[in-house]
């Protein structure tokens, strides 16, 4: 383990909910819950104002509504969150070539690898400047942990929440960890925590006192050895630069179990088409088609078929998914369906177009792209208006959906830089109302800085690309 706290862990504060508050002036300082709003929906993120009422991520949405009935409940805008996440990741990549994203709102950075920091003082300065630049670029806050290992840096960022920075100095780790709950350590969930508690082990110091042999007896060789090492603050895992995607997939969970086999088949075809759009959007193709089915009893089945080579042809992927569905018993109902493609490549093996059964009405010349038939647009009366999503009205401008039902949609007209806006209600088929792209949150660009010097080629936090 290194001798300076030069591994940084960034965790954006209540990221999805904070993005919604930043883009909607009327929600700032209010309880906001983001997640699936259907009967089986769960909370993705809750703002700190909502957490006061006991709402937290992974909680069933029905329970959240009972705890905080007056909160704003919004459907996620993942495309928007990803765009903002990329701006944050640009700031991290300006610090070091070794950035390991864990999710849209969380990442490790090896500051030594980029020369941005070499000791506690320089690491602290970089961490503070990073937090300031994240606020300048996005208007959001992030918490930073700095330590000599990934495990400790993540623990430090948790202690720093919200909107703070904590440095764990090398040599102080054991004393800091000792009184903490065993649940603090990675890999100790509710079941393992209860198992240790029943054995009289509730804190990390008690893990050390119990000894490695006892941990192995209680948890098995691999888990016991690993947990004992972490209790001693031993963690030599390197920060690993982000890897290329290994698969592209889409899935849907249904509010009501699907029993009709024909409907199941149609859903699989629709998911296959969505998966193809994602593949093509990323410039990828793949060899292995994967079908995922979660049945009425929560049992989950996966089936896969590997082709002769990579493809992004919708007919090939649809028919492979249909063949896989033929091998699955859906009697009793289906709760979730998913279609994915793995074995990715950035090219397409042309002869795979012939794998689709039968001849398709698609005419191509030697250099022509496959004909693309535009998706049929829904009738005005059939349009959906997810809560929290952006709209534009011909007369009133940009706004967002507060709610919809009974043929009506309620919209609050405001923008990230405006005062809280007025609310108006329209018919769902109002021709002057249409879905819109989110407005950007970017406030400014960070000022360049050479940062602390840590040897030849040292770099500090640089301005993100526009």
What is the pLDDT at residue 241?
87
> What b-and-e string marks burial along 20-52, b requiring 16 or more CB atoms within 10 Å of the CB?
bbbbbbbbeebbbbbbbbeeebbbbbbbbbbbe
Does residue 282 sit within a domain?
yes
Q: Are residues 424 and 454 in the same domain?
A: no
The torsion defined by the Cα of 107, 111, 112 and 116, in degrees rounded to 10, comes to 160
Which of 19-33, 134-148, 157-171, 267-281 has the least mean pLDDT? 267-281
Q: Which two tokens stand for residue 232?
A: 């001693």
Q: What pLDDT is stored for residue 442 in this prediction?
A: 57
Helix axes 261-281 and 314-326, enclosed angle (nearest 10): 140
Report the alpha-carbon distance of residue 264 to residue 124 in Å, rounded.
Answer: 54
Cross-strand pairs, 244: none
pLDDT exceeds cutoff 70 at 418: yes
Handedness of CA 240, 242, 247, 249 (dihedral sign): positive
Task: Indicate whether 313 belongs to any domain.
Answer: yes
Band of pLDDT at residue 462, cut at 50, 70 and 90: very low
Residue 400 domain flag: yes
pLDDT of residue 373 exceeding 50 = no
Q: How far apart are CA 111 and CA 459, in angstroms?
A: 10
Q: What is the mean pLDDT of residues 33-59?
A: 90
User: pLDDT tens digits for 80-112?
Assistant: 998 999 999 999 999 999 999 888 899 999 999
The reply to whether 322 and 454 lie within a common domain is no
The CATH number linked to 123 is: 3.30.70.270
Q: Which of 306, 333, 355 delimits the end of a domain?
A: 355
| DSSP secondary structure code for residue 369 in this structure | P
**Mean pLDDT (whole number) for 139-143:** 96
pLDDT at 344: 83
**Cis amide leading into 162 (omega within 30):** yes
Question: Are residues 196 and 336 both part of a single domain?
Answer: no
| Dist. CA 51–CA 312, nearest whole Å | 43
- What is the spatial distance between Cα 372 and Cα 354, in angstroms, rounded to a whole number? 17
Q: Are both 421 and 461 inside the same structural domain?
A: no
| Cα–Cα distance list, 416 to 16, 28, 260, 356, 390 (Å) | 15, 11, 45, 48, 12
CATH of the domain at 413: 2.30.30
What average pLDDT does range 313-338 have in this prediction?
92
Q: Do residue 88 and residue 20 come from a single domain?
A: yes
Residue 335 and residue 295 in contact, taking contact as beta carbons nearer than 8 Å = yes
Better-scored residue on pLDDT, 145 or 2: 145
pLDDT at 358 over 90: no
User: Is there a catalytic annotation at residue 158?
Assistant: no
Q: Are both 92 and 199 inside the same structural domain?
A: no
Decide if 214 is inside a domain.
Answer: yes
Reference 19, options 82, 65, 102; nearest CA is 82
CATH number for the domain spanning 278: value is 3.30.1490.100
Average pLDDT over residues 114-120: 89
CA within 13 Å, CB half, 298: 1
- 166 and 34, same structural domain? yes
* Best CA proximity match to 65, nearest among 78, 47, 53: 53
Number of domains in the chain: 4
Inside any domain, residue 362: no
26, pLDDT greater than 90:
yes
Are residues 75 and 222 located together in one domain of the fold? no
Determine the average pLDDT of the residues in 270-292: 87
- Say if residue 223 is in the same domain as residue 300: no
Q: How confident is the model at residue 58 (pLDDT cuts 50, 70, 90)?
A: confident
**pLDDT score at 252:** 87
Are 217 and 290 found together in one domain?
no
pLDDT tens-place string over residues 227-264 = 999 999 999 999 998 666 678 888 888 878 899 999 99
Residue 202 sits in a domain whose CATH number is 1.10.150.20
> 410: domain range?
386-435
Quick one: average pLDDT of 338-344?
91
225 pLDDT more than 80: yes
The pLDDT score that the predictor gives to residue 447 is 52
pLDDT, tens digit (0-9, with 9 covering 90-100), for 150-195: 999 999 999 999 999 999 999 999 999 999 999 999 878 787 888 8
Strand segments (E) across 71-209: 72-74, 99-103, 106-110, 142-147, 165-167
pLDDT of amino acid 30:
97
Hey, what are 83's tokens? 């765009």
In this structure, the answer to whether residues 48 and 163 fall within a common structural domain is yes
Task: With beta carbons less than 8 A apart as the criterion, state whether 43 and 56 touch.
Answer: yes
Is 375 a domain residue?
no
User: 3-class DSSP state for residue 120?
Assistant: helix
- Counting DSSP H helices and E strands in the chain, the numbers are 13, 17
Give tens-digit pLDDT for 190-206. Answer: 878 888 999 999 999 99
Vertex 204, ends 203 and 205: CA angle to 5°? Answer: 90
Residue 391 has pLDDT above 60, yes or no: yes
- Decide if pLDDT at 369 tops 60: no
From CA 169, how far away is CA 159, in angstroms rounded? Answer: 14
* Phi, psi (rounded to 5 degrees) for 226: -65, -45
Whether residue 351 has pLDDT greater than 60: no
- 19 assigned to some structural domain: yes
Q: 49, 100, 106, 414: which is the annotated catalytic residue?
A: 106
User: Does 181 share its domain with 80?
Assistant: no
How much is the mean pLDDT over the chain?
85
Q: How much is the average pLDDT of 392-402?
A: 96
- Residue percentage of the chain with pLDDT more than 90: 61
- In Å, what is the CA distance from 26 to each residue of 23, 303, 397, 411, 437? 9, 47, 16, 12, 19
**How many angstroms separate the first and last alpha carbons of the chain?**
37
Question: Does some domain include residue 251?
Answer: no
Q: What angle do CA 74, 42, 185 make, to 5 degrees?
A: 120
Q: Which of 298, 299, 238, 294 is nearest to 267 (CA)?
A: 294
Mean pLDDT, residues 291-305: 90
């Amino acid at each position: 383990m290194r001798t300076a706290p030069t591994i940084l862990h960034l965790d954006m504060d209540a990221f999805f909910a904070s993005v919604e508050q930043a883009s909607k002036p009327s929600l700032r300082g209010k309880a906001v819950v983001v997640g699936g709003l259907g009967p089986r929906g769960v909370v993705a993120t809750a703002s700190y104002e909502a957490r006061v009422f006991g709402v937290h991520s992974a909680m069933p949405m029905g329970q959240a509504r009972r705890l905080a009935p007056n909160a704003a409940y919004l459907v996620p805008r993942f495309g928007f969150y990803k765009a903002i996440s990329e701006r944050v990741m640009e700031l991290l990549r300006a610090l070091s070539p070794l950035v390991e994203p864990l999710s849209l709102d969380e990442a490790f950075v090896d500051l030594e690898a980029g020369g941005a920091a070499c000791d506690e003082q320089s690491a602290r300065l970089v961490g503070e400047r990073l937090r300031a630049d994240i606020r300048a670029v996005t208007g959001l806050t992030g918490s930073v942990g700095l330590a000599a290992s990934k495990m400790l840096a993540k623990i430090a960022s948790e202690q720093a929440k919200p909107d703070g920075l904590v440095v764990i100095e090398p040599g102080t780790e054991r004393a800091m960890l000792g009184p903490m709950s065993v649940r603090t350590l990675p890999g100790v969930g509710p079941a393992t925590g209860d198992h240790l508690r029943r054995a009289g082990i509730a804190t990390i110091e008690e893990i050390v006192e119990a000894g490695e042999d006892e941990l192995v007896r209680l948890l098995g060789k691999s888990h016991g050895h690993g947990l004992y090492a972490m209790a001693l603050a031993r963690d030599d895992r390197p920060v690993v630069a982000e890897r290329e995607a290994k698969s592209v997939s889409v899935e849907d969970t249904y509010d009501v179990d699907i029993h009709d086999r024909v409907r199941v088949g149609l859903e699989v075809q629709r998911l296959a088409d969505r998966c193809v759009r994602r593949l093509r959007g990323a410039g990828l193709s793949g060899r292995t088609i994967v079908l995922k089915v979660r049945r009425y009893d929560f049992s989950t089945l996966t089936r896969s078929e590997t082709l002769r080579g990579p493809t992004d042809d919708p007919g090939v992927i649809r028919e492979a998914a249909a063949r896989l569905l033929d091998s699955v018993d859906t009697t009793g109902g289906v709760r979730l369906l998913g279609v994915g493609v793995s074995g990715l490549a950035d090219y397409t093996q042309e002869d795979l177009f012939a794998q689709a059964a039968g001849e398709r009405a698609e005419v191509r010349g030697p250099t022509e792209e496959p004909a693309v038939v535009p998706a049929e647009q829904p009738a005005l009366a059939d349009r959906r208006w997810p809560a929290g999503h952006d709209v534009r009205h011909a007369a009133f401008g940009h706004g967002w959906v507060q709610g919809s039902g009974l043929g009506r949609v309620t919209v609050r007209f405001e923008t990230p830089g405006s005062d809280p806006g007025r609310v108006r209600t329209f018919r769902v088929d109002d021709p002057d109302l249409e879905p819109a792209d989110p407005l950007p949150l970017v406030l400014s660009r960070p000022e360049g800085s050479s940062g602390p010097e840590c040897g030849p080629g040292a770099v500090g936090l640089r301005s993100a690309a526009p």
